[in-house]
Amino acid sequence: MSRPLRIEYEGAFYHVTSRGNERRKIFISKTDYVKFLSYIENSLKKYGILLHAYALMGNHYHLLIETPHCGLSSFMHTVNGGYTTYFNIKRNRSGHLYQGRYKSILIEKDSYLLQLSRYIHLNPVRAGIVQKPEDYAYTSYRDYITPEKKTIVFRDLIWNMISRNDSPQRYKEFVESALTEETGKPFPRVYGGMILGGKQFIKEALQHAKDLQNKDISHRRTISSTMSRIDEIVEILSQYFAVSQEAIISSTFYKNYAVYLSRKYTPLSNTEIGRYFGGISYSAVTKIGTRLKHRIEEDDSLRQEMDRIEAEMSRVKG
């Protein structure tokens, strides 16, 4: 049986779900939920993905994802693969954890994003686990109604869709308004099992699918996108340290920062990163990244400096 077509392009939105094999639990302990979210957090940075909402439900999960730079398949492969390895080692088991590949539905943002976030956040209520969505610990709902809460979720888009003022309270009212309604699945008309949107949106999505059939074009676009992200890292470091971009690439001191951030924020391999920075070997890239990571963990001033650099990266991306 052939695999379903994945429609991937820059700026797309997806509702992603995955279930445990034979509907068995994929989250058993609190540590499992925390570990899965750590894989999500690390991969968001690496692939430049935005997470708008999530619900982890024992034997399955829901993610509401935006891909500014494409990369959905790579992102999901890293998350599901890493978590499966962790789960199997922890419980001395082997084999498949998930029921086949993840399912992704391409969605039209303006028509469905807000409703879909509510649907995801009400999963624990519909399942009869809790009576109020905020009573369940493993969704992003608390992040939306508690603005000061630190989160891996990008909330601004949905907050702005619900209201320009008092967004957390308005969003809470929006979600809770569905508690007195019939809470069946609100999106029955999914075109081809993979596109949720109006006729024009479906037409445009199918055109993207045709473009993807030309693997050479798709490959060139992916390489161009990821390389441009390293260019952004070099430019930000150049501005931060007030030196030329050439210095960032050639000077060992600055290059270490650039290599570390490229490993963390781009999906390129160590070999590709090394090639960008003048032919550094695979092992050298690994050592640079690992050593700087350990230094950051041990040196408060270095960690604060890296936090400032990464904050600047987030500001530029936003």
Predicted confidence at residue 225, as pLDDT, reads 46
Same-domain check for residues 204 and 312? no
Same-domain check for residues 295 and 307? yes
Same-domain check for residues 127 and 207? yes
In a domain, 208, yes or no: yes
Residue 79 has pLDDT above 80, yes or no: yes
Q: Which of 148, 177, 212 is the last residue of a domain?
A: 212
Same-domain check for residues 23 and 135? yes
CA pair distance 50, 32, nearest whole angstrom: 22
- pLDDT one-digit tens code per residue, 163-176: 888 999 999 999 99
Q: Which of 187, 212, 237 is the last residue of a domain?
A: 212
In a domain, 42, yes or no: yes
Same-domain check for residues 165 and 256? no
| Mean of pLDDT values over 30-38 | 97
In a domain, 7, yes or no: no
In a domain, 6, yes or no: no
CATH number, domain with residue 285: 1.10.1750.10
CATH number, domain with residue 174: 3.30.70.1290
Same-domain check for residues 25 and 161? yes
Confidence band of 226 (pLDDT split at 50, 70, 90): very low
In a domain, 4, yes or no: no
Predicted confidence at residue 70, as pLDDT, reads 82
Same-domain check for residues 170 and 24? yes
Averaging pLDDT over each range in 24-38, 159-173, 175-189, which range is the top one? 24-38
In a domain, 132, yes or no: yes
* pTM for the full predicted model: 0.73
Same-domain check for residues 299 and 156? no
Same-domain check for residues 35 and 106? yes
Same-domain check for residues 21 and 87? yes
Supply the mean pLDDT for the chain: 86
Q: Which of 212, 234, 261 is the last residue of a domain?
A: 212
| Mean of pLDDT values over 201-206 | 86
Same-domain check for residues 98 and 37? yes
Residue 193 has pLDDT above 90, yes or no: no
Domain interval for residue 198? 12-212
Question: How many separate domains does the chain show?
Answer: 2
Token match 């590949």: residue?
A: 101
Same-domain check for residues 149 and 291? no
- pLDDT one-digit tens code per residue, 277-318: 888 888 899 999 899 989 999 999 999 999 899 888 766 554
In a domain, 5, yes or no: no
In a domain, 290, yes or no: yes
Predicted confidence at residue 207, as pLDDT, reads 82
